[in-house]
């Protein structure tokens, strides 16, 4: 069973009703439901990089871009974070406590935490926030203060291909012995200005970095992450 039922939106008028309630209470309701589901073997939560850093796409306060953040690092959360990030962080804490409090579960729970998901959607829907963000970047449109901040700071932006996220979820659903793990899913990180260039079929100016580590996902889930240049080219075509 896969849980991916969390609203993802950047423009928020009422954080409680639009993000906190559906994300946190939705997770609590889901956890209650799976306890009553017979024959369940595996549950995969689609979490978020925010479970490790609610300041994403920026680095945690006080950290410099010299060593990738990994699953072994202490999670970072601040109240100034975007409500979506805070909601995902708290929801993950709910899952973590649920696992810790129940040592005799008859099924495994695994989480995957993707960074900025990009690439071309397999559906014809055009209301995806991730797809919309690529459109904004490509055309350098800033409909809100959050996106404008990304342009102003030209911050590094960690990206993972949407197809890689799907592969990771599938792998996590099949592999056994990973109960309680939460895997970062990430490719390279590029400056926002270079993301804009690549979305417009131009070459990046700077070399990519790795803001987050994907070593555990590679080792345990057998992942091979696509180059971000290929991901953005796929979208722009």
User: Domain for residue 50, yes or no?
Assistant: yes
Q: What is the pLDDT of residue 44?
A: 97
Q: Which of 172, 153, 58, 72 is nearest to 115 (CA)?
A: 58
Q: Block means of pLDDT (10 residues each) for the chain, length 237 residues?
A: 78 80 92 92 95 91 81 90 88 96 93 94 70 90 90 95 96 96 97 96 95 97 96 86
Indicate whether 139 belongs to any domain: no
Number of structural domains the chain divides into: 1
- Asked whether residue 138 is assigned to any structural domain, the reply reads no
Three-state DSSP at 111 gives strand
The answer as to whether 61 is a domain residue is: yes
pLDDT at 48: 94
Identify whether 205 is part of a domain: no
Q: What residue numbers bound the domain in which 35 lies?
A: 2-127+157-188+210-223
Q: What is the predicted pLDDT for the residue at 225?
A: 98
- Please give the pLDDT value at position 65: 67
CATH number, residue 64? 3.40.50.720
Per DSSP, which regions of 74-144 are E strands?
A: 108-114, 116-118
Residue 233, in any domain of the structure: no
Query: Does residue 175 fall inside a structural domain?
Result: yes
| Closest C-alpha to 233, from 208, 213, 204, 206 | 204
The pLDDT assigned to 192 comes to: 97
**pLDDT confidence of residue 6:** 75
What tokens appear for 100 in the block? 């810790």
Which residues are within 8 A (CB) of 27 and not within 5 positions of it... i.e. 6 or more apart? 3, 45, 91, 94, 95
Looking at residue 146, its pLDDT comes to 86
pLDDT of residue 19: 83
Distances from the Cα of 36 to the Cα of 11, 95, 153, 232, angstroms: 36, 16, 48, 42
The reported pLDDT for the residue numbered 125 is 65
Give the global pTM: 0.92
Question: Strands, E, within 59-118: which ranges?
Answer: 108-114, 116-118
């Amino acid at each position: 069973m896969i849980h991916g039922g969390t609203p993802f939106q950047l423009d928020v008028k009422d954080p409680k009703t639009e993000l906190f309630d559906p994300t946190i209470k939705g997770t609590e309701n889901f956890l209650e439901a799976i306890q009553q589901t017979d024959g369940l073997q595996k549950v995969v939560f689609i979490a978020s990089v925010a479970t490790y850093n609610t300041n994403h796409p920026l680095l945690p306060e006080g950290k410099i871009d010299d060593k990738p953040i990994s699953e072994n690092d202490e999670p970072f959360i601040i109240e100034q974070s975007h409500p979506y990030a805070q909601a995902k962080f708290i929801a993950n804490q709910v899952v973590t406590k649920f696992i810790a409090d129940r040592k005799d579960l008859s099924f495994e729970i695994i989480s995957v935490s993707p960074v900025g998901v990009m690439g071309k959607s397999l559906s014809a829907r055009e209301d995806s926030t991730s797809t919309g963000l690529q459109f904004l970047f490509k055309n350098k449109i800033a409909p809100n203060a959050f996106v404008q901040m990304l342009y102003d700071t030209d911050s590094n932006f960690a990206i993972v291909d949407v197809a890689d996220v799907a592969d990771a979820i599938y792998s996590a659903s099949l592999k056994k012995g990973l109960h309680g793990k939460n895997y970062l899913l990430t490719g390279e990180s590029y400056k926002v200005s270079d993301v804009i260039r690549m979305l417009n079929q131009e070459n990046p100016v700077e070399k990519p970095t790795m803001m987050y580590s994907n070593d555990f996902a590679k080792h345990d889930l057998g992942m091979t992450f696509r180059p971000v240049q290929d991901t953005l080219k796929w979208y722009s075509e």
